[in-house]
Amino acid sequence: MTATPSRDLTVTEVRLTPVLVADPPLLNTQGVHQPYTPRLIVEVVTADGISGLGETYGDTKYLELARPLADRLVGHRVDDLNRLFAGADEVAVDAARVSGQVDVGGLRGVQTAGKLRLSVLSALEVACLDALGKSLGLPVHALLGGKVRDAVEYSAYLFYKWAEHPEGVPAEKDDWGAAVDPAGVVEQARRFTERYGFTSFKLKGGVFPPEEEIAAVRALAAAFPGHPLRLDPNGAWSVETSLKVAEELGDVLEYLEDPALGTPAMAEVAAGTDVPLATNMCVTTFAEIEEAFTRDAVQVVLSDHHYWGGLRNTQHLAAICRTFGVGVSMHSNTHLGISLAAMTHVASTVPDLHHACDSHYPWQSEDVLTERMTFEDGTVRVSDAPGLGVELDRDRLAFLHRRWLDDDGALRDRDDAAAMRIADPDWVRPAVPRW
Ligand SMILES: [Mg+2]
């Protein structure tokens, strides 16, 4: 019998590299964000010299937590994740960073200390799983129990969009052009299908009055008959407006995403329509599940392994959703290929994933990988290579980190209204409900 070669999975170093990545001028209900978005790239290095990759939000409040949480990992093995999570509460969160209010800048629900910690832990967990997989010669999905599908379907994430960032603001150019009306949205959708083969479409709404967004979805339905369509105004509508939109688009919508803000309002909307409601805003933590599910406020939860706390928590969430007959899919914020790989691995293990996942990745022209992730027929193939199956491009990482170092602080915290304020100095974040 051959002995298994001994491996030393002890973490000897955790490298944390904040970067700024180009982000095109996409509109949401808060406005338009800066031309670059902060992300944090995590590398976990083992005593054997194996390096695992993770990625999460890179705003200051996350960076402040990343070092103390990463330091707790040093000296422990990459397969010692439960202990890392169990002790994370001991890392203090600056109270000034926790509003307890809806995190309007990030449009991802109420901000809590626990959620901030989980957002950082998610990147450490992914990096540890990547390192463990590389060490064992197994893909991350195998460490999560194995894939049940060979490719994960993503939706085309359509945005109202300016052609470029405001004049005088340093920014990378993109070739998508503007989309500020139904024809522009349909044209954008066509390019998504031509470039990536997506067959389902989500429009980020809450930008223009509901009648205009209804017209855009109607135009999509006419251009792509029978294809799944979603509309997500990030809680910008009243219950009454939500019900009106649901009534007008009920025959073409796969679901309506966060039409109104908060579980009570969502429950009222849900009681008045047969259109399923999805959320990444009122159910964003395990603590928020009970009320939302008991009140039948949501029919689909859009998980996000960043703020839910990693890939294993995403599987736990999926199991709870399954128990309550609630659907599950995936939310996305600006992210790079490391996170797309992580999303794809965990999504491949969720048995009842009945909706295409969201991803911003097509909007990100920059990455830190040696090879970009690719979409074929609207899907990402699940890698069977060890770990996540991606490789860090150190030159690219250094370039994007240099941009972060050179920034005077204006770009280091994402502000979803920053570019809009430049284009329109009188712009103030709209009160909710906006319509
Ligand atoms: Mg959403």
Ligand 1 centroid distance, CA of 365 (Å): 22
Ligand 1 centroid distance, CA of 377 (Å): 23
Same domain, residue pair 198 and 253 = yes
Is 377 among the domain residues?
Answer: yes
Same domain, residue pair 133 and 170 = no
Is 299 among the domain residues?
Answer: yes
Is 425 among the domain residues?
Answer: no
CB within 8 Å of 158: residues ≥ 6 apart: 179, 185, 188, 189, 192, 201, 202, 203, 204, 220
Range of the structural domain that residue 129 is part of: 11-138+394-409
Same domain, residue pair 296 and 241 = yes
pLDDT value for 190: 98
**pTM of structure:** 0.97
Is 424 among the domain residues?
Answer: no
Q: CATH number for the domain including 15?
A: 3.30.390.10
Number of domains in the chain: 2
Ligand 1 centroid distance, CA of 49 (Å): 39
Q: Is the pLDDT of residue 81 over 60?
A: yes
Is 303 among the domain residues?
Answer: yes
Calculate what percentage of the chain has a pLDDT beyond 90. 92
pLDDT value for 101: 67
Ligand 1 centroid distance, CA of 97 (Å): 22
Average pLDDT estimate for 127-148: 98
Q: What is the secondary structure of 120-135 as a DSSP string?
A: HHHHHHHHHHHHHHHH
Q: Is the pLDDT of residue 106 over 60?
A: no
pLDDT value for 104: 54
Q: What is the pLDDT of residues 194-235, one digit of tens each?
A: 999 999 999 999 999 999 999 999 999 999 999 999 999 999
Q: Is 61 a catalytic residue?
A: no
Q: What is the dihedral of CA 359, 54, 125, 415, to 10 degrees?
A: -60
Is 434 among the domain residues?
Answer: no
Q: What is the secondary structure of 10-25 as a DSSP string?
A: BEEEEEEEEEEEE---
Ligand 1 centroid distance, CA of 171 (Å): 25
The active-site residue out of 61, 141, 147, 204 is 204
Q: What is the pLDDT of residues 374-387, one digit of tens each?
A: 999 999 999 999 99
Same domain, residue pair 227 and 299 = yes
Q: Is 134 a catalytic residue?
A: no
Q: Is the pLDDT of residue 406 over 90?
A: yes
Is 5 among the domain residues?
Answer: no
Q: Is the pLDDT of residue 8 over 70?
A: yes
Residue with tokens 């503007």: 178
Q: Is the pLDDT of residue 23 over 60?
A: yes
Ligand 1 centroid distance, CA of 122 (Å): 19
Ligand 1 centroid distance, CA of 367 (Å): 23
Same domain, residue pair 86 and 186 = no
Q: Is the pLDDT of residue 405 over 50?
A: yes
Q: What is the pLDDT of residues 27-46, one digit of tens each?
A: 999 999 999 999 999 999 99
Same domain, residue pair 35 and 57 = yes
Q: What is the dihedral of CA 371, 372, 377, 383, to 10 degrees?
A: 60
CB neighbourhood size of 171 (10 A): 17
Q: CATH number for the domain including 377?
A: 3.20.20.120
Taking a 5 Å cut-off on Cβ, the residues next to ion ligand 1 are 232, 257, 280
Ligand 1 centroid distance, CA of 285 (Å): 15
The active-site residue out of 33, 115, 331, 360 is 331
Same domain, residue pair 271 and 215 = yes
Is 4 among the domain residues?
Answer: no
Same domain, residue pair 134 and 146 = no
Q: What is the pLDDT of residues 241-293, one digit of tens each?
A: 999 999 999 999 999 999 999 999 999 999 999 999 999 999 999 999 999 99
Q: What is the pLDDT of residues 47-77, one digit of tens each?
A: 999 999 999 999 999 999 999 999 999 999 9
Bigger pLDDT: 4 vs 202: 202
Q: Is the pLDDT of residue 1 over 50?
A: no
Tokens of 393: 């491009």
pLDDT, the chain, mean = 95
Same domain, residue pair 374 and 398 = no
Q: Is the pLDDT of residue 3 over 70?
A: no
- What is the b/e burial string over 361-372, where b = at least 16 CB atoms within 10 angstroms of the residue's CB? bbbbebbbbeee
Ligand 1 centroid distance, CA of 204 (Å): 8
Tokens of 279: 């959320």
Same domain, residue pair 226 and 351 = yes
Q: What is the pLDDT of residues 163-182, one digit of tens each?
A: 999 998 999 999 999 999 99
pLDDT value for 408: 94
Of the listed ranges 36-40, 138-142, 239-243, 419-423, the least confidently predicted one is: 419-423
Same domain, residue pair 134 and 214 = no
Q: How confident is the model at residue 110 (pLDDT cuts 50, 70, 90)?
A: confident
Same domain, residue pair 115 and 170 = no
